Amino acid sequence: MKQLNTIHRNGVFPVSAEILYWESEGNPHTLRGLFALEVVNNSFYEADTFEIRAALSAQKAPHNKASWWLGQPEIELNVTLTQGPLSKLMILGRVDDVAIDPVADELVLSGRDLTGLLIDSRTSGDAMLQYQNQTASQIVTGLMEQFSNWFGGNRITGTAVQVGTYFGGNFLYLFRNRSYWDVITWLAQTNVNASGSPDPFVAYVSGSGLVFGPTPAPTGYYLLRWETPKGNAIPQTNIERIELAHNLTLAKDIAVTVMGYNPMVGRYQSTASGKHNQGHTGGGSFSQSLYSSVGYQHFVYIANGLTQLQAQQMAQSKTKELSRHEYILRATQPGDLTLDPMQLVRLQGDLLPSYEMDFWVNAVTWRLSTHPQRFEMELWCKNHPTGSQVVL
């Protein structure tokens, strides 16, 4: 596996931003007078987000008036960053909130990528009934039809097994009155192959297309390096800030739910997690903050024929098993567009029990400011795949 980045001792190329926005049925416009922007690229199953701050007076008339922005029913926006020879679309999405501060001459736009459309739309029991004898890919294709004005170039990998055969009587129970995104991600996580064995897919939005299929195989890694200095020497590192956490009991970012059906007791559901009872110990620790920031990960096991007590015991056992080997990494360094959140992050040095450990990216926060001029990225990673999983 190849290394994707070069270790920069004197920083990386400067960056420039192009931000385009569209009002309803309108042409694209360039957002001017940028103060700062923040884009969060999350891992599978989650929406990416953005927040942009710009000078209201810098926009072309009539867009330099607060009334124009506050009167728009819908705004689409994309952010492209360029660094040296590399240009990258950071997010394509819709504005959820517009805020105006006329005293500070500031316009603030915040929102999500197109995943937000699927999160905000909900299913009904009657609508889902038609899909009970279809495959996961057929259901996803059908659900996406009503969003064809927004989504183009979807990449939906075909599946062969009818969903009703492995959900049984739980199908409508699981999928009625859910967001479209919940349904799509559950279908991805519970996918089975032609032989009936679990074959989890991932689901995420890339640009204007939905990706529903096998987890992309990493083709390379982004290298982080830290060697603890001797004496008064400077650390040998390409990292500005790094934090690591490993929980010795139950990882605080993991929850396991066991659910199923038993004809003797009906449907049951039991959840165990690593959230600790702090008693009277006072405020939270560094590790609590790190775990809460890296994102909660939920594993669901569907196991029929158990009692409520057996389901609880299974949930507790699985939580301990998943927690045993988990490490959390947060690192901040100058922004570098060669980082691809789909690839691995490899940490080398003497910080961990092993000299080298690979991490999967949970989220990358990109921050660009013009006053003062700064471009940085903050990585949140785990040393195992970051998507929630459903196991049949």
Beta bridge partners of 92: 78
Reduced to 3 states, what is the DSSP secondary structure of residue 160? Answer: coil
d(CA 87, CA 376): 16
User: Which of 219, 215, 308 has its CA nearest to residue 262?
Assistant: 308
Q: Give residue 285's pLDDT.
A: 43
The separation between CA 331 and the C-alpha centre of its own chain, rounded to angstroms, equals: 17
Q: Give residue 260's pLDDT.
A: 76
| Residue 108, both tokens | 């603030």
d(CA 92, CA 28): 13
Q: Give residue 282's pLDDT.
A: 35
Q: Give residue 276's pLDDT.
A: 44
Strand (E) or helix (H) holding 316: helix 308-323
Domain ranges of the chain: 2-117, 121-206, 247-326
Which DSSP string corresponds to 44-65? TTS--EEEEEEEGGGSPTTTTS
209-213 sheet: strands from edge to edge: 155-156, 209-213, 202-206
- DSSP letter at 392 equals -
Q: Give residue 256's pLDDT.
A: 84
User: For 169, phi and psi rounded to 5 degrees?
Assistant: -70, -5
Q: Give residue 287's pLDDT.
A: 46
Q: Which residues in the chain show pLDDT less than 50? A: 9-10, 276-294, 392
Q: Give residue 227's pLDDT.
A: 85
d(CA 8, CA 59): 36
